[in-house]
Amino acid sequence: MTDSYLAFANSAIGARLAAALGLPRPVPLERFTAHHPVLQGDVLIAAGPSPHLLPALVQASQVLQLNTVSHQLPAWTAMCNQAGMMTGRWGVGEQPGAPIKALLYDATGLTRIEQADHLYHCLQDTVRSLLPSGRVMLLARSPQACNDVQQATVQRALEGLMRSLAKEVKRGIAVQLIQVDEGAETSLTGCLQFFLSPRSAYVSGQVIRWQCPSTIAPASLPVQWTTDVNQPLAGRRLLVTGASRGIGAAIAQTLARDGARVVCLDVPSSAAALQTVAEQVGGWALPLDITDPQAAQTLVDRARSDGGWDGVVHNAGITRDKTIARMPEHAWRSVTTVNLLSPAVITQTLLDAQVLAADARVVCVSSISGIAGNVGQTNYAFSKAGVIGLVQSMAPAFAARGMAINAVAPGFIETQMTAAIPFAIREAGRRMNAMGQGGLPVDVAETIAWLMSPLSRGVNGQVIRVCGQSWLGA
Ligand SMILES: NC(=O)c1ccc[n+]([C@@H]2O[C@H](COP(=O)([O-])OP(=O)(O)OC[C@H]3O[C@@H](n4cnc5c(N)ncnc54)[C@H](O)[C@@H]3O)[C@@H](O)[C@H]2O)c1
């Protein structure tokens, strides 16, 4: 489904008309192209008082070959430490106000409320210098990890600032708050690789807890993390459910592009389309209904004959919308079974059968309906909120084994599912987010590909919304 308003608003006449009528003007988002740099343009690294992450940020920038202005860092650090605040125009090199593609701000040292003035000055001077599809990443501490009341307060306050900034910046710019645990900075490269790159085009306004790998994966595990940004999934064998079309097909394609061998599963009635996708990605088709009572055992047998799997993406899902007073029992039961019960049973069965690799990763597809709720979707929202409960409650067991389980919550994504929505509701759904447009299946797929890769090793038991910072929900 194409977004004709997006194309119109970016045509010469459409842009003039939109400006004259005060209509929103969403910009086409930059998306990932293989073998391009992680980020094209200059990156400004700034720091508040007593920053803790600067060395890690500089090192990660070098690994990712970013054009940073790191030569200025010692001066900034010194000034910040002395004065606790820095004013004046910030910019790249000697040119204040020169365009920048990304701003990384190390706020880990903010322990008093008034110290946030420094961040205010930095943002005020830099946000207008950000290029379209630019990035702002605030790196901070989790309030839960702070021992001091003022420190926890100011670190929590950053969340409100970040969410508001993400709504203000427009022009396809994405803003995130990354709460980095002490000791977790060593793996920050993988975090920057995703959130700075066009892979995260439709992810904005998110709070991500970046945990110490040792609390996620026991140090004894033979972890071979790669920073090959083009093939981070090389050699991995992954299962994707609901892979014959829509988001599932995009997931299979994206995982394969990143080097994985993909087992593509869908209902037997979609076998022909499933076979086409499997052939396109050089993988295998597995026609199977995940609600079949034998499905979990069938998957265990298949995983064993494959020599084990490195991960599973639970993407298969259905909607049967009706307000609860009018909802027939089969609509309740089918949605909760496909979307929640089957992924829960399959995940536990695969774990118990020990057919998942030592550093396996599981991703479940939730929805912003499961976060915000939606009229006519009590069954769907129950199932999708349940998916969040599933990953949060299973995360410790996964961590104990050196594995990880996370969820993505898509917002409005341009698929057959959303094409079926009546025009007016569809158009509202598309625009009601900070990006002013719907996402593409590949946006969900990119986030999942990252979560399935070793590059996301600091993340477990979390939910990443791929919703362009939808106005619905938190
Ligand atoms: N499209 C959106 O805007 C959107 C938003 C939020 C969440 N989601 C979620 O993303 C996922 C994919 O959505 P989509 O838009 O691509 O939907 P879709 O209907 O195009 O694809 C879903 C796939 O799941 C398969 N499936 C359904 N029941 C199955 C079963 N019992 N066993 C095996 N496969 C089964 C279907 O055959 C289909 O191929 C779903 O979980 C959906 O709830 C989508």
Closest CA to 153 of 107, 110, 106: 110
pLDDT in tens, 194-228: 999 999 999 999 999 999 865 555 444 333 444 46
Whether residue 5 lies in the annotated active site: no
Q: In what order do the strands lie in the sheet with 174-180?
A: 67-68, 42-47, 100-106, 130-140, 174-180, 206-210
CA 308 to centroid of ligand 1, rounded, Å = 25
- Among the options 5, 105, 202, 380, which is catalytic? 380
pLDDT in tens, 169-203: 999 999 999 999 999 998 899 999 999 999 999 99
Q: Which of 276, 294, 318, 466 to mutate to test the pocket of ligand 1 (most atoms within 8 A of CB)?
A: 318
pTM: 0.93
Q: Which residues of the chain have pLDDT under 70?
A: 1, 8, 14, 16-18, 20-23, 69-97, 213-229, 474
Domain positions in the chain = 31-210, 237-466
**Pocket lined around ligand 1, Cβ cut-off 6 Å:** 241-242, 244-248, 266-267, 270, 289-291, 315-318, 338, 365, 367, 410, 412-413, 415-418
Q: What percent of the chain has pLDDT over 90?
A: 69
Atom index in ligand 1 nearest the CA of residue 319 equals 43
CA 412 to centroid of ligand 1, rounded, Å = 13
pLDDT in tens, 59-87: 898 888 888 764 344 444 434 433 343 43
Q: Vertex 209, ends 134 and 79: CA angle to 5°?
A: 60
Helix (H) / strand (E) containing 275: helix 271-280
CA 318 to centroid of ligand 1, rounded, Å = 5
Residue nearest to atom 43 of ligand 1 (CA): 317
CA 129 to centroid of ligand 1, rounded, Å = 40
CA distance 162 to 217: 29
The answer to whether the 31-210 and 237-466 domains have the same CATH topology is yes
What values do phi and psi take at 158, rounded to 5? -60, -30
**Fold of the domain spanning 237-466:** Rossmann fold (3.40.50)
CATH architecture of 31-210: 3-Layer(aba) Sandwich (3.40)
SS3 65: coil
